[in-house]
Structure 1
């Protein structure tokens, strides 16, 4: 297995025992789209969704919970969110997929989170994804042992490496992921936005941790946050940027 596919293979191996279910809702984001477009600082949709989803986790603690099977089946609730954005990078002619962790997205500003994402997207791969690149070159059985220990035993390292949730999308290519899979409690994805400012948003979740009714509530809450608080945050960021420009 080439190194650039080793991590994906490992993650799918971890996911194989997770009973995940996907639910989809169409979000109306026209007002947010316009507020984002007017903002002088470019904030990606991935960060916008990450921030809104992390804020929803304050209302729904299940988004910070993880099922652990060792030494006995139980749920662990992390004190803060750790969102992992799936980032595609080219390394020596090969396409790699990396997890870019952003901790405390419910606390830090959109601008700070965007800066972190841009470092993950353009910084030296050997620095920003040092541990993932190194792990990908380990022998097969060493990788699987390390993943098993992190996944089932070392809950702190599991959250640090994998996060409490993931965000992945190929909406920029005009495509919607129907069944996103990652070894985390929930994975959020969204499709391309139409002219009316609507897009399909899906959450794949571990059914051992959450049920369909709660996930429906989470989708509704995330849309509400994007229609209200996120719009206000973009307006505030626009005002701050223009005030700085005027002062300069």
Structure 2
């Protein structure tokens, strides 16, 4: 449903139960998360060199994409990041062949701010530049196109939404990954704020705070304890920091070199 039509019809903003429609999806995801035993761990990352390389790159790459890329690369070394606990028809793990990062994106429809979930598949395979392009489409493209299914789902009656989510969550591992990802990434670091306990119905959720003057920031991973233990998550945090300090720095330098000829030509 087009965003302008939603804004023009106030009665569409509220569900029959009185729940504002723009909060329906978040409420559903918290409902899916309710029985998930999650634990959080934090590590301070030293990103001085990466911050300098990013600042010197002519192509703007957001920190969200930078962290997404590094965490997806860590999932190659740590398959647990691509595993999902499935409870039906019996408890078992499903391991997806690639990382699917689900970025939380805030968009406005009419007078309301909505949270949408933007999946980026194969982040370990594709360049920072390509992933930034996907994120920009999610951030600026017509809401009724880029988040068509999520807007439509939010307007379904409560019991239909919960039934659809339950089916996706339990019956098909591939549909579950397609809708929710293998991991989630959410942050409000741009506002100078740290999320202490990020929650999403996925195996792990990554968040990070603002960089301080020394080029450091706190990075948090909240994880499903049925799938991973604290020791492995500590290793994952160390590996992600190492990847950002080495490979991602090189990728920024390479990206800068590719864009320099374009700047000179202009």
TM-score, normalised relative to structure 2: 0.92
Find the aligned partners of 1:13 and 1:141 in 2 and give their Cα distance. 12
Residue matched to 1:48: 66
- Tell me which stretches of 4 or more aligned residues in structure 1 moved more than 2 Å: 243-248
Given the alignment, which residue of 30, 33, 37 partners 1:15?
33
Give the structure 1 partner of residue 198 of structure 2: 180
> What is aligned with 2:16?
none
Matching residue of 1:140: 158
CA displacement at 1:246 relative to structure 2: 3.5
Q: 3-state DSSP class of the match of 2:214? A: coil
Q: Which of 200, 214, 233 in structure 2 is aligned with 1:196?
A: 214
Q: Alignment partner of 2:262: what SS?
A: helix
TM-aligned CA deviation for residue 247 of structure 1 = 5.2
Q: Deviations over 1:122-167 (max 9, x none)?
A: 1110000000000000000000000000001111110000000000
Distance in 2, Cα, partners of 1:246 & 1:125: 36
Partner of 1:76: 94
* Aligned with residue 162 of structure 1, among 176, 180, 205: 180
Whole-angstrom CA distance in 1 between matches of 2:242 and 2:211 = 17
Q: Which has the larger radius of gyration?
A: 2
- How many Å separate the matches in 2 of 1:92 and 1:174? 26
Matched, 1:97 2:115: yes
Compute the RMSD of aligned alpha carbons. Answer: 0.7
Q: TM-score, normalised by structure 1?
A: 0.99
2:144 to 104, 108, 126: 126
Which residues of structure 2 form unaligned runs of 5+?
A: 1-18
Cα distance in 1 between the residues matched to 2:21 and 2:142: 17
Q: Distance in 1 between matches of 2:241 and 2:151?
A: 35
Report the counterpart of residue 235 of structure 2 in structure 1: 217
2:132 aligned to which of 93, 104, 114:
114
SS of structure 2 residue aligned to 1:96: strand
Q: Say yes or no: does 1:149 pair with 2:167.
A: yes
Deviation at 1:222, TM superposition (A): 0.1
